[in-house]
Structure 1
Amino acid sequence: MYIKEIMWQTISYVSTADPSLTTLEMEDLFQLVKQKNNDLGITGILLYSDGNFMQILEGEKTYIHELFSKIEKDERHYNVIKIFDRQIINPCFSKYHSDFKVFGESYSHNELQNFLEGEKSYNPDNYKSVSYLTKKFMKLS
């Protein structure tokens, strides 16, 4: 019996939110994204700050590339800039997180810190950029 090995992929990007999006539309978007990604077994995080999105997606390679293709065409944001797109051995996130208050009491950012530590080890060329952007979205210094 042959068991197919899963090829894990991670993609991260930043983009600019369409300024016409209302708070209610944004809340609906975050809930929809969270539900769909968790249903598909996609892990990661979606951050929003000062009119910009940052997202890290992890999952089966085919799903991630198909999802990113849809993301690039989504009219709710523009100026999509891919930060990285690479194969990974294991996901860093246990599930998909997305909420306006991602870093409130309901979310421990240990997984995000572990992700950044992994970036430092596995992808040192991108680590400074990813760490800087993540901290800006989290409003950390």
Structure 2
Amino acid sequence: MEATLASGIGYAIFFYKRKIHPLKEYELRKNENIRFAGQFGVPFIDADCDRDNWFERARGMAHEPERGVRAAARYPGLMQSECNWRKGGGSARMTEISKRESFHQQAYCGCVYSLRDANRHRVEGGRERMQLGVKFYGDEEPATD
């Protein structure tokens, strides 16, 4: 966001994350976007949560692997900027900003299937299930509710 503003390109944040589950996770991610956009005066367009639409698009794909055809079903009909922000130090910059802003550290893509699979993997590996909304960049230990 900072780099785009510095380039002089006008833009808005269009938040359309219909797959995020549970609602607590959706609200956390949305509110972080609103807060960060507000710091820079970037317009924020809230398309609000529409899980029914996403489940309809994902029907029959519950057991597809992450980053597969189910992921592609998220964006039909939407135009978005294709930019590889990871190049040229972008990943390090993302971590730096995330720590500075104390952003939520996302442990899964957000969909109910990813949460299910990640928790299954954790339990099979002898770890506890994920605690949602408690780990933030820059925290030494997960925060408590």
What TM-score do the two structures reach when normalised by structure 1? 0.27
Report 1 or 2 for greater relative contact order, CA contacts < 8 Å, sequence distance ≥ 6: 1
**TM-score (ref. length: structure 2):** 0.27
